[in-house]
Chain A
Amino acid sequence: MKLGLVVDLDTCVGCHACATACKQWNTSGTIGPLSDERPHGKDPSGSWLNRIHSYEVGDSPHSKTVNIPMSCMHCETADCVTVCPTGASYKREEDGIVLIDQDKCMGCNLCSWACPYGARELDADSGTMKKCTLCVDRIYDEQLPEAERQPACVLTCPTSSRVFGDFDDPDSEVSRLTRERAGQQLMPELGYNPVNTYLPPRNPKQQDKIEVSPMQGVRQLVNRIINR
């Protein structure tokens, strides 16, 4: 299995619900708590496992706002695991999830240096590295109804821009979406082979050219005449 996420950049509205749901679930999950420093002070800070960056793509007036949520990509070539001197960072063989053993981490920061996506943040309180677990404590929990055995960020997304699944299965929704919508990796040139893919925004001009059958065409023509 190669578990990961697909994020649809066409429909993501940048509401930060995924980041908030992630913090809420994981602060009491297996790697929790995700501590905050001075949460009500002037310069609050804290560890988050998912952050949303908003970009302006293209030049005004033909520009578009694109929100890119970033969490761990669970890379196939995970350098963060290779550089770890203590063995705290590891990639699970059975499903490819990259995790940190909180009891072994010595807080040297080297894995965060090796990560190009900013997926790892040092928890100032515990002195250990924290990162996305792909909600490993949710997705295998048989106490939960089957529909809820998904990462918290996926469940909460109001526009269903996040899809969770197995990239090794060619018929899974994540594989199908990546194939049909030309899902791409971020910074592929570094060679980390991130598992998560991002679906680029649809081209509005192409959306107009939806193929219609001859019968539908006649029906549309009739509708248009009647409306007039």
Chain B
Amino acid sequence: MHPAFSVLIFTVTSGAGYGLLAWLGAGQLLGLTQAYTIGLQLTLGVMAMVLITIGLVSSTMHLASPKNAWRSFSRFRTSWLSREAVFAVLLYPIAALYAAAIFWQWSMIDVLAGLSMVFALIILFTTSMIYASLKTIRQWNTPMVPALFMAYALMSGGLLFVAVSGFSGVLNPQLLIVVMALVLITLALKMVYFFWQGKPTGATIQTATGFSQASVRLLDAGHSAPTFLNREFGYQVAADFLLRLRIVMTFAVFMLPLGLVYWVFADTGIVEILAVAWVIMMAGLLLERWLFFAEARHVVRLYQGDQRT
């Protein structure tokens, strides 16, 4: 699949934003953020909404006819993209009320915090289901995709949460342990995904052409210049380069941030290191999302010369 940069930015930044909002809501419900100043709580909430908004604006960039984007709220009953759009818009008034509740210390703050958290998790799920519901791309059509999307969001949002809290002088070592645990869980999930993905399965050129008893080779794809289908689905990167990128990605998303957070936890207590860890993680997540697209092989490729997906 062709990795559209606007979609990479969208899923990574809005993912971190929804993760941060989920952490803020959970912190309120668990009684963690009561110790935080109103200013810090608002900063965290506004940061989350800014990240989310950057992502959502970026996501509309890949539309070929953005003038019709408002219609995307209309097919809530069948389309995951429509569900995502509806929930993403509904979150704004809820988040605004949550911010007001923080500022004026309303008594119903717990309800609004809980609602914000639930909506953030629902939106993460709906976004991931856009990909996971496609039977045409076996690398995406797995429950591991929603699990991974939510894990990435909670991991990157959680690291941002502790880093920003740390800058305001509230560095909770127990939260650092939670963040490290999330990194390890996500890493394990991603490794399972990589092993699962390597197993050859699914549609082949035989099932695509109906000649199940013979070897089938493409002689002519039927067009002399690249088409929309080639550009969208024919994205090809050398296998050894992908492998090297996987290693770089694993270090950037998991190993380096994990080491840095542990360093802060065990020794230094310098919060700036947490910020560095978050920036490295976000860069790594962009690479991860690029790989998510580049390694996904759509079945249409069987009509363009691929033997299997």
Which chain A residues have a beta carbon within 8 Å of chain B's beta carbons? Answer: 14, 16, 19, 43-48, 51-59, 65-66, 68, 70, 79, 81-88, 103-110, 112-118, 121-122, 124, 126-128, 184-192, 198, 200
Contacts and interface: CB of A to CB of B under 8 A. Distances in A.
Contacts of B191: none
A51 B304 CA distance: 11
Contacts of B211: 55, 57, 66, 200
Contact of B221 (A53, A66, A185, A192): A53
Interface stretch (B78-86, B112-120, B239-247): B78-86
Interface residues of B, dominant DSSP: mixed
Contacts of A45: 225-228
A204 B268 CA distance: 80
Given A86-B74, A116-B136, 5 more contacts: A45-B225, A45-B226, A83-B81, A86-B82, A88-B71
Interface residues of B, number: 54
A140 to B, nearest CB: 27
Given A79-B135, A200-B210, A47 B79 contact: no
A35 to B, nearest CB: 11
16 contacts: A43-B226, A55-B209, A57-B214, A59-B214, A68-B303, A70-B303, A79-B134, A84-B79, A86-B74, A86-B75, A108-B72, A112-B232, A116-B300, A122-B232, A187-B207, A189-B207
A127 B64 contact: yes
B107 interface: no
Interface of B: 1, 62-69, 71-75, 78-82, 85, 130, 133-137, 203, 207-211, 214-223, 225-229, 232-233, 298-300, 302-303
Nearest to B4: A109
Contact of A59 (B75, B81, B134, B215): B215
Contact of A109 (B203, B227, B232): B232
A51 B220 CA distance: 11
